[in-house]
Chain A
Amino acid sequence: MARVPFLLLIEDDDAVRTALEMGLTRQGHRVVTAASGEDGLKLLREQRPDLIVLDVMLPGIDGFEVCRRIRRTDQLPIILLTARSDDIDVVVGLESGADDYVVKPVQGRVLDARIRAVMRRGERESNDAATFGSLVIDRSAMTVTKNGEDLQLTPTELRLLLELSRRPGQALSRQQLLRLVWEHDYLGDSRLVDACVQRLRAKVEDVPSSPTLIRTVRGVGYRLDAPQ
């Protein structure tokens, strides 16, 4: 890895914040911390971190709201730290734009692995471009344009689009995508894929409710088609 990842940790509980900061620093990350959503948003503007680890239960504006506000302007990766693995929280978190989530009490190694996986999504690879209708994916510049306009994609959305575009017309199962994009083990939460596909469709499709590019393959997963 070229440089030390720079993280912003937003967590209100002092002990958890200190302990996670200690653990993440030992794993080789540079960490700044904030105790509330407002402080976190301020630090985000001032310090421009590479990634945010965000607690859901925060005093004042909660983690979901922080997530939504960040997404209005920034596409940096967000990992939610949720004390409740209740499904509804996870779904709301993913809907508000988080890239991944970990459930408390989290093991430092797991959090580290997720952080590194998210960071890798922004890495460049081959040097080619692909065109799907009005959508142009430039793999060398890691940019996506639609009708000539740059699309603001998060690294996760970009990586998902890249993985789908590498196998045009071929259906990929949710579990496959979880391994390819999120680098989750075999137990990945398939709702991560669904939420990310929804967000991606909102950005790349002409009419997100009737997608022509990213098609659902019933009982299997998703497929990227060039429009006819």
Chain B
Amino acid sequence: MRGRLAGVLPTLRLRLVVVFALVALTAAVSASGIAYWLNRDAVLTRTQNAALNDFRKSMEDNAGSLPRRYDCRQLWDAAEKMANTSQSYEVLLTGEDARGAPCTAASDQDAFTMEDVPGQLRSAVGKRRPVDTGNSYPYHLYWQRSADGGGSEPFLVGGAKMIGEGPTPSGFMRKSLGPERDDLNSLAWSLGIATGVALLGAMLLAQAAASTVLRPVRRLGDAARRLGEGKLDTRLKVSGTDELAELSRTFNRTAESLENRVADLSAREESSRRFVADMSHELRTPMTAISAVTEVLEEEQENLDPMIAPAVQIVVSETRRLNDLVENLMEVTRFDAGTANLVLDHVDVADQVTACIDARAWLDAVELDADRGLMVRLDPRRLDVILANLIGNALKHGGSPVRISVRTEESPSGAGELVIEVADRGPGIPEEKLPHVFDRFFKASASRPRSEGSGLGLSIAQENAHIHGGSISARNDPSPEGGAVFTLRLPRGSAGPAPGEGEADEEAEAAAAREEDDRRARGRAEGEDGKGDRGGRRDGR
């Protein structure tokens, strides 16, 4: 039922208005209907009684005073007299004159003739009833309400027969009920108008009622939406003590506890992030000392005792791993803290890819399909990080050769996109693990608990793509050769600000740098180490 109502009347306001209107209509129509019928009955009965009583009396007076044998002319006179009363009705008298010939006398021959008297009435009037205890007279006064031939004008027609010896005359009267009908019609009109007014009033009231209910509901809805958008300080103004005020109070309490909870959680997350950032930062100084000495050890390896040399080798190689791990951790914390920035430059993508492969001595293991001359504005260091991680990962898990293809595509929005695909011919990645390959410290193979990587490489690659406004996706090649395919997509040129405005821009950039310098100085003076004011520098070239 609710569902159907909601389907037909989609809004609460409409539903309220319709229900109000229906109630008002029912009440008004039944009240007016009853009033109309009671009124009609009373008016008609009164008119009818008055007319019939008058008719009976004047019939007694006039027709009763006729001689036992009368002629037609006397009958005419009697009819004239009878009609001449305050009750305006026409009279028709019919009987037999002294010679026994039928005679019909009418007060108004044109308006009321014998044809106007219904046959039923005529026979009822003329019918003689046996006189007994329940019926003291052989003839009665009968009446009937009828519309005349046209059907528009209603009439009251009554008739009676004189009681007496011989062929007594019968009398008929006809009274127009036009004035009564007009009165009743105007009453009906008034009632109709009153009903309409009541209906209109009900609808207006419904509107007002809907507004008083719906305004707070809408406010509540708006507040809930804002809360959903993350504006946790949203509160409602509570006024009154009704159910809606109670609802608002509940909303406020909920929002407050939500805000507290979120603040609590983000404070905890912030402190744990800060811990990781501080920790990896603190690790750097000892790592610098260890790295520097490790190189000395490495160079001296041949001169060392063969018993000690393997130990030194382990120290050297593990130091390098630890170095990479700290480096990656630093990188991750920079992304988490939002302090990672782009240093954009116009570069030839093919050159960058070649240089990346070349620098890591991967040239023999890689098939590169890239045209020179594709200039893209991006951060070359970050592109290198992405490529090194993707290619290194492919070589580690898929084996050589790794195929790299560089091309541009039109993205759905119409902007150009740089697409770099890195495909290997390895076993691929199990489908259920595909969504997790970019997770931190995720290892695709549980049998390799201590892989050579830090477990952060793909996650860092993904973050580096995101900061360019791009993304990396992973899939398996469905062709028989198989293998995992990583696709890097970067917007062409939309990353960062548009190419600089020449000298003016550099001025702005220098000014910005000076400003940050000042801020840093202030930050130090306040005893911070600049953590709070590091972010936000965009390359303005």
Query: Which residues of A line the B interface, CB within 8 A?
Result: 13, 15-16, 18-20, 22-23, 26, 62, 83-89, 91-92, 95-96, 104-109, 173-175, 185-187, 189-191, 194, 198, 209-211, 215-216, 218-220
Fill in one digit per residue for B264-290: 1 if any A CB lies within 8 Å of its CB, else 0: 000000000000000001001111111
Chain B residues, Cβ within 8 Å of A215: 503
A-B pairs with lowest CB-CB distance, top 4 = A186-B355, A19-B292, A15-B289, A105-B287
Q: Within the assembled complex, what's the spacing in Å between the Cα atoms of A85 and B334?
A: 10
Chain B residues, Cβ within 8 Å of A190: 343, 345, 380
The reply to whether B290 and A19 form a contact with Cβ atoms under 8 Å apart is yes
Chain A residues, Cβ within 8 Å of B377: 219
The reply to whether B513 and A91 form a contact with Cβ atoms under 8 Å apart is yes
Q: Within the assembled complex, what's the spacing in Å between the Cα atoms of A205 and B444?
A: 58
Q: Within the assembled complex, what's the spacing in Å between the Cα atoms of A185 and B339?
A: 25
Whether, in the assembled complex, B54 has its beta carbon less than 8 Å from a beta carbon of chain A, the answer is no
The reply to whether A105 and B288 form a contact with Cβ atoms under 8 Å apart is yes
Fill in one digit per residue for B159-173: 1 if any A CB lies within 8 Å of its CB, else 0: 000000000000000
Q: Which of B211-260 contact A (CB under 8 A)?
A: none
The reply to whether B289 and A109 form a contact with Cβ atoms under 8 Å apart is no
Chain A residues, Cβ within 8 Å of B347: 175
Whether, in the assembled complex, B57 has its beta carbon less than 8 Å from a beta carbon of chain A, the answer is no
B413 shortest CB reach to chain A, Å: 23
The reply to whether B345 and A198 form a contact with Cβ atoms under 8 Å apart is no
The reply to whether A210 and B503 form a contact with Cβ atoms under 8 Å apart is yes
Q: Which of B350-409 contact A (CB under 8 A)?
A: 351-352, 355-356, 359, 377, 380-381, 384
Q: Within the assembled complex, what's the spacing in Å between the Cα atoms of A62 and B287?
A: 21
Known contacts A23-B293, A84-B281: does B346 contact A91 (CB below 8 Å)? Answer: no
A8 shortest CB reach to chain B, Å: 17
Known contacts A88-B534, A185-B355, A219-B346: does B506 contact A198 (CB below 8 Å)? Answer: yes
The reply to whether A22 and B541 form a contact with Cβ atoms under 8 Å apart is no
Number of A-B residue pairs with CB-CB distance less than 8 Å in the complex they form = 134
The reply to whether A186 and B380 form a contact with Cβ atoms under 8 Å apart is yes
Whether, in the assembled complex, B295 has its beta carbon less than 8 Å from a beta carbon of chain A, the answer is yes
B536 shortest CB reach to chain A, Å: 9
Known contacts A92-B517, A209-B503: does B380 contact A19 (CB below 8 Å)? Answer: no
A200 shortest CB reach to chain B, Å: 12
The reply to whether A26 and B285 form a contact with Cβ atoms under 8 Å apart is no
Whether, in the assembled complex, B516 has its beta carbon less than 8 Å from a beta carbon of chain A, the answer is yes
Known contacts A88-B516, A186-B355, A218-B500: does B289 contact A83 (CB below 8 Å)? Answer: no
Known contacts A22-B296, A88-B516, A91-B516: does B503 contact A15 (CB below 8 Å)? Answer: no
Chain A residues, Cβ within 8 Å of B520: 88, 92
Whether, in the assembled complex, B291 has its beta carbon less than 8 Å from a beta carbon of chain A, the answer is yes
Whether, in the assembled complex, B306 has its beta carbon less than 8 Å from a beta carbon of chain A, the answer is no
Partner of B285, one of A13, A22, A88, A216: A13
A23 shortest CB reach to chain B, Å: 4
Q: Within the assembled complex, what's the spacing in Å between the Cα atoms of A95 and B292?
A: 28
Q: Within the assembled complex, what's the spacing in Å between the Cα atoms of A95 and B384?
A: 26
Whether, in the assembled complex, B79 has its beta carbon less than 8 Å from a beta carbon of chain A, the answer is no
Q: Within the assembled complex, what's the spacing in Å between the Cα atoms of A109 and B326?
A: 19
The reply to whether B534 and A108 form a contact with Cβ atoms under 8 Å apart is no
Known contacts A186-B355, A218-B499: does B295 contact A107 (CB below 8 Å)? Answer: yes
Which single residue of chain B is at the shortest CB-CB distance from A107?
Answer: B291
Whether, in the assembled complex, B122 has its beta carbon less than 8 Å from a beta carbon of chain A, the answer is no
Partner of B289, one of A18, A95, A219: A18
Q: Within the assembled complex, what's the spacing in Å between the Cα atoms of A18 and B286?
A: 12
The reply to whether B530 and A88 form a contact with Cβ atoms under 8 Å apart is yes
Q: Within the assembled complex, what's the spacing in Å between the Cα atoms of A209 and B345?
A: 22
Fill in one digit per residue for B293-333: 1 if any A CB lies within 8 Å of its CB, else 0: 10110010000000000000000000000010011001000
Partner of A194, one of B334, B341, B509, B516: B509
Q: Within the assembled complex, what's the spacing in Å between the Cα atoms of A108 and B294?
A: 9
The reply to whether A106 and B291 form a contact with Cβ atoms under 8 Å apart is yes
Chain B residues, Cβ within 8 Å of A189: 343, 381
Chain B residues, Cβ within 8 Å of A95: 510, 513-514, 517
Chain A residues, Cβ within 8 Å of B410: none
Q: Which of B493-541 contact A (CB under 8 A)?
A: 499-503, 506-507, 509-510, 513-514, 516-517, 520, 524, 530, 533-534, 537, 539, 541
Interface core residue of B295, B339, B520, B524 (most chain A CB under 10 Å): B295
Chain A residues, Cβ within 8 Å of B514: 95
- Given contact pairs A104-B285, A187-B380, enumerate 9 new A-B contacts (beta carbons under 8 Å): A15-B285, A20-B292, A23-B293, A23-B296, A88-B534, A106-B291, A108-B295, A218-B499, A219-B377
Q: Within the assembled complex, what's the spacing in Å between the Cα atoms of A218 and B377?
A: 12
The reply to whether A87 and B341 form a contact with Cβ atoms under 8 Å apart is yes
Q: Within the assembled complex, what's the spacing in Å between the Cα atoms of A220 and B346?
A: 7
B318 shortest CB reach to chain A, Å: 14
